[in-house]
């Protein structure tokens, strides 16, 4: 496995392969790789001839009060996973190479970024959109894989690629979960043993929402209540949002008439967790 740190060397490597007709797959990450990343890497390995994983803790997607400084950076462990999974290039640019002095262009996807995570983290999505655009420009992949765990991010990236004609096929892979259902996340390590035990409440709340939809409930307010009831049974957990939304626009719906996404964010002590479930609604034959 090659470790490339310079953006120019990364592009030269990719361009060389593209000229030979090689299909390049790309999994962008911030490192601290877990089984969720592993599933993206494996899928990309199956689908593409050459595979690049980037490891870059992107400062511009962290707010001033967020965890940039303490974000886990277990680089040897990450490289070992990449080697095990047959990654060809681990791309590890420095912050100075990504954002050199004089850097000024940013990318925004305003409507998708407005709600939910965008409300809690106002600059987060322009940081994500900008770094993903830059990484695509450097890696020049044919396909890029993202996890459904960050649902709003995956919708935003698809919109970005479409709007800017970036020519990268985006694949979104299902969330990988711990045995009890907690969505895998690099930030789960911040949970104390007790918080870890209670963290599954978010998934249980989304499942409760999906269950009432399956029994025929179509009123989003009632569905939201069913989700909230699960969380409020745990007095030390606070709800940031629980919503029934359109899976393409992310706008909340008042009535469920077709596929919806249940999105949620909760706070357990100082840790904020997000998760989501897509729920298909069977068509009623009249």
List 34, 37, 77, 123, catalytic entry: 37
* Closer residue to ligand PAF (CB): 28 or 264: 28
CB of 56 to ligand PAF, least distance (A): 6
CB of 185 to ligand PAF, least distance (A): 10
* Closer residue to ligand PAF (CB): 190 or 210: 190
Tell me the C-alpha distance between 2 and 52, whole Å. 10
Joined together, the tokens standing for residue 155 give: 């919708």
* Closer residue to ligand PAF (CB): 61 or 245: 61
Residue carrying the six token digits 């050199």: 100
* Closer residue to ligand PAF (CB): 154 or 201: 154
How wide is the angle at C-alpha 161 spanned by C-alphas 155 and 166, nearest 5°?
165
* Closer residue to ligand PAF (CB): 182 or 212: 182
Tell me the C-alpha distance between 188 and 2, whole Å. 29
Tell me the C-alpha distance between 141 and 87, whole Å. 14
Joined together, the tokens standing for residue 45 give: 């390995």
DSSP string, 117-168: HHHHSTTHHHHHHHHHHHHHHHH--SEEEEETTSHHHHHHHHHHHHHTT---
Joined together, the tokens standing for residue 159 give: 């919109």
* Closer residue to ligand PAF (CB): 132 or 139: 132
Q: Can you give the binding site for ligand PAF, defined by CB under 6 A?
A: 28-30, 58, 61, 128, 131-132, 150, 153
Residue 202, classed as helix, strand or coil, is helix
Instruction: Quickly count: other Cβ atoms within 10 Å of residue 94's Cβ.
Output: 12
At 236, phi and psi to the nearest 5?
A: -90, 5
DSSP string, 12-52: HHHHHHHHTT--EEEEEE-S---HHHHHHHHHHHHH-SEEE
Q: Is 37 a residue of the active site?
A: yes
CB of 262 to ligand PAF, least distance (A): 20
CB of 121 to ligand PAF, least distance (A): 11
CB of 127 to ligand PAF, least distance (A): 7
CB of 102 to ligand PAF, least distance (A): 21
Name the E strands within 148-259.
169-173, 237-245
Joined together, the tokens standing for residue 156 give: 């935003």
Joined together, the tokens standing for residue 41 give: 């890497």
Active site residues: 37
């Amino acid at each position: 496995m090659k470790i490339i740190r310079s953006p120019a060397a990364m592009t030269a490597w990719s361009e060389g392969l593209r000229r030979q007709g090689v299909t390049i797959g790309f999994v962008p990450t911030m490192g601290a790789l877990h089984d969720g990343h592993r599933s993206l890497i494996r899928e990309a390995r199956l689908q593409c001839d050459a595979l690049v994983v980037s490891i870059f803790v992107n400062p511009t997607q962290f707010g001033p009060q967020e965890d940039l400084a303490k974000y886990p950076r277990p680089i040897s462990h990450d490289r070992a996973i990449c080697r095990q999974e047959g990654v060809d290039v681990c791309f590890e640019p420095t912050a100075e190479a990504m954002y050199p002095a004089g850097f000024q262009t940013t990318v925004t996807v305003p409507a998708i970024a407005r709600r939910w995570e965008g409300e809690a983290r106002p600059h987060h999505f322009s940081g994500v959109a900008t770094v993903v655009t830059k990484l695509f420009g450097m890696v020049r992949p044919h396909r890029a894989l993202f996890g459904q765990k960050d649902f709003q991010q995956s919708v935003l990236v698809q919109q970005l690629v479409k709007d800017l004609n970036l020519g990268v096929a985006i694949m979104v892979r299902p969330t990988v979960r711990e045995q009890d259902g907690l969505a895998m996340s690099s930030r789960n390590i911040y949970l104390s043993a007790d918080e870890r035990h209670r963290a599954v409440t978010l998934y249980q709340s989304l499942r409760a929402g999906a269950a009432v939809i399956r029994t025929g409930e179509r009123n989003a307010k009632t569905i939201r209540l069913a989700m909230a009831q699960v969380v409020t049974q745990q007095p030390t957990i606070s709800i940031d949002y629980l919503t029934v939304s359109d899976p393409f626009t992310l706008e909340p719906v008042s009535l469920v008439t077709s596929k919806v996404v249940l999105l949620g964010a909760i706070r357990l002590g100082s840790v904020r967790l997000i998760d989501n479930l897509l729920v298909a609604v069977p068509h009623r034959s009249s």
